[in-house]
Amino acid sequence: MDLDIAGRKAIVCASSKGLGRACAQYLAQAGCEVVVNGRDRDTLEATAEEIRKASGAKITAVAADVATAQGQDALFAACPRPDILINNNAGPPLRDFRELDRQRMIDGVIANMIVAIELIQRAIDPMVAGKFGRIVNITSGSVRAPIAGLDLSSGARAGLTAFIAGVARSVAADNVTINCILPGQFETERLRSNLAAAARTRGVGIELARADRLKLIPARRFGQPEEFGAACAFLCSAQAGFITGQNLLLDGGAFPGAF
């Protein structure tokens, strides 16, 4: 399927690995010029080169922390008028809510809510002027089904979800869409880290922790980043212009609700 976005310019935050990388990869395959981002320069440059070789697309690597004004400036210096913005940032580690002091809570809200809003503020008016824009926020399945220990991540991302719900409706007439993708359990470094933490807390081996987690997923497997990247690319397509203000849950059926 031709997504009809060849030549569009995209910024994909936190895309040196994991789900962000998969999104960058699929946008590049669709013909977009992509700015990839990460804090580790060596990992980022390797990712950029691999996507460049695989897709033939123009890939620009920006090593920066998007939670800082300097990092955001660097992204928009590389791509002043993006047609596509993928907001992504690592969440806080698994932690009992009693251990969260005020600074940790502030840092979590900044990373998983405020940063995305700041980037949308910078990108949205040029999108409106150009009558095309696709913004996708990578949040978490825990927005729908909170997970104990990830309370800060769930709360901050839920705040972002509510914040952009009204914004999405305000720009829909200009062919600018804003949606969220809520990942469940995907084969990423973060999943492996969370499984290791859960195993330590329970005093069991990581294979048992992994097997127990799989029992909660009707698909009986973890998601592959490529599946996530393909879904993200579709939401950025020309054909997805009638989808906005929505939260797409990708969790293998783990959430047990009809709505």
CB 212 within 8 A of CB 195: no
Closest CA to 71 of 19, 33, 25, 119: 119
Q: Are residues 26 and 145 in the same domain?
A: yes
DSSP assigned state of 224: P
Residue 2 within a domain: no
Residues 6+ away with beta carbon under 8 Å from 229: 19, 21, 22, 23, 24, 25, 26
Both 207 and 95 in a single domain?
A: no
Amino acid letter, 91:
G
Total domains in the chain come to 2
Indicate if the pLDDT at residue 172 is higher than 80.
yes
Residue 255, in any domain of the structure: no
| pLDDT at 198 exceeding the cut of 80 | yes
Instruction: Note whether residue 259 is domain-resident.
Output: no
Alpha carbons 48 and 23: distance in angstroms, whole number: 13
Q: Residues 174, 124: contact at Cβ < 8 Å? A: no
86 and 166 inside one domain: yes
Residue 258 lies in a domain: no
Average pLDDT for residues 102-114, to the nearest whole number? 95
Provide the CATH number for the domain around residue 66.
3.40.50.720
Give CA–CA dist 97/176, Å, rounded: 37
pLDDT recorded at residue 93: 79
Helix axes 151-171, 102-109, angle to 10 degrees: 30
Closest CA relative to residue 34, chosen from 56, 17, 18: 56
> Do 69 and 93 reside in the same domain of the chain?
yes
> What is the per-residue pLDDT for 258?
87
Mean pLDDT of the chain: 95
Q: In whole angstroms, what is the distance from residue 242 CA to residue 151 CA? A: 32
Position of tokens 């800082």? 68
Residues 62 and 135 in one domain: yes
Same domain, 63 and 174: yes
The pLDDT value recorded for residue 197 is 83
Q: Are residues 147 and 211 in the same domain?
A: no
- Domain membership of residue 148 (yes or no) is yes
Structural domain span for residue 159 = 9-186+226-250
DSSP per residue, 35-78: EEEES-HHHHHHHHHHHHHHH---EEEEE--TTSHHHHHHHHHH
- 121 and 237 together in one domain: yes
Q: Region 18-27: what's the mean pLDDT?
A: 98
Tens of pLDDT, residues 137-148: 999 999 998 888
